[in-house]
Amino acid sequence: MSSSKDRYVVLGNPIAHSKSPFLHTHFAQQTQQNLDYRPLLAPLDEFDTTVNGFIAQGGKGANVTLPFKLQAFALCTELTPRAKAAGAVNTLLFKTGHIIGDNTDGCGLVNDIVHNAGVNLTGQRILLLGAGGAARGALLPLLECQPAQIVIANRTVARAEELATQFQPFGNVLASSFEAVNGAFDLIINATSASINAEVPPVPASVFSPNCFAYDMMYGNQPTVFMQHAAAQGATTRDGWGMLVEQAAEAFYLWRGVKPATDALLKQHP
């Protein structure tokens, strides 16, 4: 039997900063899976060529990060229901003649909130800040937890309305501008990229109830400005490191049929 390792990559541009090789190498060692996982820089105008070249070399699967999640979606011959709902793909599985696309981001988010942070989402009022790809990927997994309501707030209300309409068949979803959001929420998720620029979406301070849980999909070695703002209003906060770890564990399970434990990596927050 050949001892050569099954090959996986993470595709992006830029890609050197990616934590995925660290996460998946850890999972492989923990579960004794014989695989090799590396970053692969895809030229901006050659994503499809890069993927097909990797498949031709015997590649088994790939993670996809910015800016290629929509191109990955378009390249797939088969999509999971959650990838279809998200309209974007972050995990590829290659089978003879087929490229299967999945989206593990929303599932990773929910696993981190529910299992790792111990926050119950059933019957809760949720505020989702942003209406881009990150928000879209989160909606179906969040709605499957049967919250009472999800309000999508966005700078451009039309984009929030478009998402709300798409996901209304799965639950109670409303749209709003940032400024017009009213009432207190049990869970507030920042799915905007505002934290990169040290900004906070301009929602009223009253949205943070005393028992509110505020989650930023971004992470860093310091609490984000959104987390600092939420904490100042009395909210409990958490950043997106656990989401990153959990989405990776879900992708690993899709590829290998083995669900790795995430506890050790959760503690290795940058």
165 phi and psi angles, rounded to 5 deg: -65, -45
On whether 91 is known to bind a ligand per the annotation, the reply is: no
On whether 135 is known to bind a ligand per the annotation, the reply is: no
On whether 154 is known to bind a ligand per the annotation, the reply is: yes
39 to each of 26, 46, 102, 119, 244, how far by Cα in Å? 15, 16, 19, 33, 16
User: Considering 69, 84, 95, 267, which one is annotated as catalytic?
Assistant: 69
Our answer to whether residue 69 is catalytic in this structure is yes
On whether 117 is known to bind a ligand per the annotation, the reply is: no
Cα-based angle 50, 54, 58 (whole degrees, multiple of 5): 165
Per DSSP, 116 falls in state I
Report the chain's C-alpha Rg in angstroms.
19
On whether 130 is known to bind a ligand per the annotation, the reply is: yes
On whether 155 is known to bind a ligand per the annotation, the reply is: yes
On whether 90 is known to bind a ligand per the annotation, the reply is: yes
On whether 20 is known to bind a ligand per the annotation, the reply is: yes
On whether 186 is known to bind a ligand per the annotation, the reply is: no
On whether 219 is known to bind a ligand per the annotation, the reply is: yes
On whether 111 is known to bind a ligand per the annotation, the reply is: no
Pairing of strands 61-64, 91-95: antiparallel
On whether 159 is known to bind a ligand per the annotation, the reply is: yes
Alpha carbon distance 48, 37 (integer Å): 19
259 contact partners, CB below 8 Å, separation of at least 6: 249, 252, 253
Per DSSP, 15 falls in state -
Two structure tokens written together for 256: 């290998």
Inter-residue contact 5 to 25 (CB < 8 Å): no
Inter-residue contact 151 to 176 (CB < 8 Å): yes
Q: What residues are designated binding site for shikimate?
A: 18-20, 65, 90, 105, 219, 247
Catalytic residue list: 69
Q: What residues are designated binding site?
A: 18-20, 65, 90, 105, 130-134, 154-159, 217, 219, 240, 247
Q: What residues are designated binding site for NADP(+)?
A: 130-134, 154-159, 217, 240
